[in-house]
Structure 1
Amino acid sequence: MGIPGVPPSELPDLTRAEDRISFLYLERSVIHRDSNAITATDDKGIVHIPAASIGVLLLGPGTSITHQAVALLADHGATAVWVGERGVRYYAHGRSLAASSRLLTAQAAAVSHRDRRLTVARTMYAMRFPGEDTTNLTMQQLRGKEGARVRRTYREHATRTGITWNQRQYDRDDFASGDPVNQALSAAHACLYGAVHAVIVALGAAPGLGFVHTGHERAFVYDIADLYKAEITIPVAFDVAASNSTDIAADTRRAVRDRVHDGAILTRCVRDIRTLLLQPQPTGPIDDAEDSLSLWDDNDFEVAAGRNYGDTEDVDF
């Protein structure tokens, strides 16, 4: 007798992580399923969303999701992320799309070795400064160079939009206390973090094993998101703040969603993660097509799993 329930889709049949829409934020609605679609029901009616097209479903306050809907998302390799109001707090996420631990193993090996970690961190900074040689700069010099770049980016967009800019200042516990542009920046960054987090877990990497950031459960999320802020979230935030929006959080989410989708950021994010973790040759399929469960041996090789070695090896209990 087989395992009860509907068998999951084969991995090659799933929509690849970089081909999906970036994220969808829902709040104050009931999430269910209808065939292969997720349904969202609120006082305005019902919306159907194809589960295979979702990269990450952001579940805000007031949402209630059924077991069938969660099973459908998991079956299609989508990531559900439970977030706070306006999407600015992260609480939990769903499953990975990956069938192997290839990226995770590479990530753990790199972050645990000082020289390899330094190489990855330097590569992250080099991505912000194309055409410049950063190989001989210390981490302190790189942080200073990055800080100057971000300050310059803020000033440029403030001038472009006519926004008065003082500094990045916000209260994580009081979203409304910030001025419009700081509110928009917080909302925009939260959306980007959600999209990046979804890609990381979909590929089977660890959100907490960062190279520049460290010590936080989303350290690697912040590492990767920082690669795109100057291009995506900072200009979006200044644009929204300059538009005299009456709902900064919602307008910012929509603007980031459009920018992320139009800029094919998921494809870039997948490529960048693989480049960073699989140095020097990030080759092969993005999502390994079959399970590769093995047993580790202390002689630093692997043996096949799923068999009993009691008859072939000496066992001392």
Structure 2
Amino acid sequence: MTDTIGRRAASSPRELTRVADRSSFLYLERCTVHRDTNAITATDAEGTSHIPAATIGTLLLGPGTRVTHQAMSVLGECGASVAWVGENGVRFYAAGRALTRSSTLAEAQATAWANRRARLDVARAMYRLRFPDEDPTGLTRRELLGREGTHVKDCYRAQSARTGVPWKRRHYVPGDFTAGDAVNQAITAAAQCMYGIAHAVATAIGCSTALGFVHSGHELSFVLDIADLYKTEIGIPLAFDIAAESDEDPGPRTRRALRDRIHEVGLMDRCVTDIKELLLPYKAADSPDSTAVDTEIDHVTLQSDHDLQVPSGTNYGHDW
């Protein structure tokens, strides 16, 4: 077996921009995405814009976009996540290559997920991150879901009272972004952007997007788990602020405001920290230190007996 599987020729992990230091997301539509040295270009009827590829956390490609092989090559080399999405970013279709080269978090996540008791412990820890004033110790899953639902409904009512925006109920029709009123459209836009950010961070640091601890049965279950951590703190209040300003174009305005807000609060860095705190207690004792999870690990080993890891690139005979 060779030791080249995990290697990329362009940049070492140390040279790549940390996911926490990148722009959260960039949404493009109705343009052609190409490459110019180490930048990508977006060309439409108004001209060409240059974007340094290494500064992108996740690139959201909306309707009418065309992307070249060279553009995808530089994005892959820089470890940027690429997601193909629907109009206004409200449908997720596919995603590209990620930044990670270490399996530490993926193995810790799988270990916690595979044990029913540990899986519930992580769900409780997620609840504790969302609502730090409450102690979820001993709560069943049904009780966690009930309390979470109550908190979200209370958040809607509180934000409506704060902003003066009328609120009836959450209304979203899949495939029809404009079916709801302005505040519902803003909430949907904020949620989908948060899903994109959570997807970018989770994949960039080596997690499985499918192994959720609250959500289940979907390829993005873990993404939904992480995005929900910040729903009542960031997404919903910002959506009500946007609706209070105007009913016009809530989708684009929400995306721009959310991008600024994410930068202000350092959400990308916080996502990385929260995911590590949730999963690393379940990492194997011989796994690399947590500080190396997304920075310096770039090697492949072979598994032997008794959890022994041996170097790859060697042909092991019967007498080794």
Describe how 1:179-194 pairs up with structure 2 within 5 A.
Answer: 179-194=181-196
Cα distance between partner residues in 1 of 2:53 and 2:41: 9
Cα distance between partner residues in 1 of 2:134 and 2:318: 60
Give the partner amino acid of 1:309.
Y
Task: Indicate the residue corresponding to 2:55 in structure 1.
Answer: 53
Cα distance between partner residues in 1 of 2:39 and 2:298: 27
Counterpart contact for 1:60–1:83, Cα < 8 Å: yes
Cα distance between partner residues in 1 of 2:162 and 2:59: 33
- Which deviations, in whole Å up to 9, do the C-alpha atoms of 1:247-266 show, x marking residues without a partner? 12111111111111111100
Cα distance between partner residues in 1 of 2:213 and 2:78: 30
Task: Indicate the residue corresponding to 2:239 in structure 1.
Answer: 237
Find the partner of 1:21 among 17, 20, 23: 23
Give the partner amino acid of 1:247.
D
Cα distance between partner residues in 2 of 1:286 and 1:53: 20
Q: Which has the higher contact order (CA 8 A, sep 6+)?
A: 2
- Which deviations, in whole Å up to 9, do the C-alpha atoms of 1:7-43 show, x marking residues without a partner? 3111100110101010000000011111111111111
Gaps of at least 5 residues in structure 2 are 284-288
Give the partner amino acid of 2:312.
A
Task: Indicate the residue corresponding to 2:180 in structure 1.
Answer: 178
Give the partner amino acid of 2:163.
T
Give the partner amino acid of 1:221.
V
Task: Indicate the residue corresponding to 1:306 in structure 2.
Answer: 313
Task: Indicate the residue corresponding to 2:197 in structure 1.
Answer: 195
**Structure 1 residues 128-137 or 56-65, which shifts more?**
128-137
Counterpart contact for 1:294–1:304, Cα < 8 Å: yes
Cα distance between partner residues in 1 of 2:260 and 2:144: 31
1:224 aligns with 2:231: no
Cα distance between partner residues in 2 of 1:172 and 1:258: 27
Cα distance between partner residues in 1 of 2:163 and 2:134: 29
1:161 CA drift (Å) = 1.4
Gaps of at least 5 residues in structure 1 are none
1:197 CA drift (Å) = 0.4
Find the partner of 2:303 among 296, 309, 313: 296
Give the partner amino acid of 1:118.
L
Cα distance between partner residues in 2 of 1:136 and 1:44: 58
Give the partner amino acid of 1:82.
W
Indicate the SS of the match to 2:281.
coil
Task: Indicate the residue corresponding to 1:264 in structure 2.
Answer: 266
1:286 CA drift (Å) = 4.0
Cα distance between partner residues in 2 of 1:212 and 1:111: 10
**Structure 1 residues 135-144 or 277-286, which shifts more?**
277-286
When the two chains are superposed, the root-mean-square deviation of aligned CA atoms in Å is 1.8
1:64 aligns with 2:66: yes
Find the partner of 1:86 among 85, 88, 91: 88
Task: Indicate the residue corresponding to 1:135 in structure 2.
Answer: 137
Count of residues paired in the alignment: 309
Residues 131 and 240 from structure 1, CA distance in 2 versus in 1: closer, same or farther, beyond 3 angstroms?
closer
Cα distance between partner residues in 2 of 1:166 and 1:158: 10
- Which deviations, in whole Å up to 9, do the C-alpha atoms of 1:165-216 show, x marking residues without a partner? 1111211121111111111111110011001100001011011100010101
Cα distance between partner residues in 2 of 1:312 and 1:93: 45
1:273 aligns with 2:275: yes
Q: Which of the two has greater helix per residue?
A: 2
Counterpart contact for 1:87–1:187, Cα < 8 Å: yes
1:147 aligns with 2:149: yes
Q: Which runs of 4+ in 1 moved over 4 A?
A: none
Describe how 1:98-177 pairs up with structure 2 within 5 A.
Answer: 98-177=100-179
Indicate the SS of the match to 2:14.
helix
- Which deviations, in whole Å up to 9, do the C-alpha atoms of 1:71-114 show, x marking residues without a partner? 11111111111111100111111112111111000001110001
Task: Indicate the residue corresponding to 2:210 in structure 1.
Answer: 208
Q: TM-score, normalising length from structure 1?
A: 0.93
Give the partner amino acid of 1:17.
V
Counterpart contact for 2:84–2:93, Cα < 8 Å: yes
1:128 CA drift (Å) = 1.7
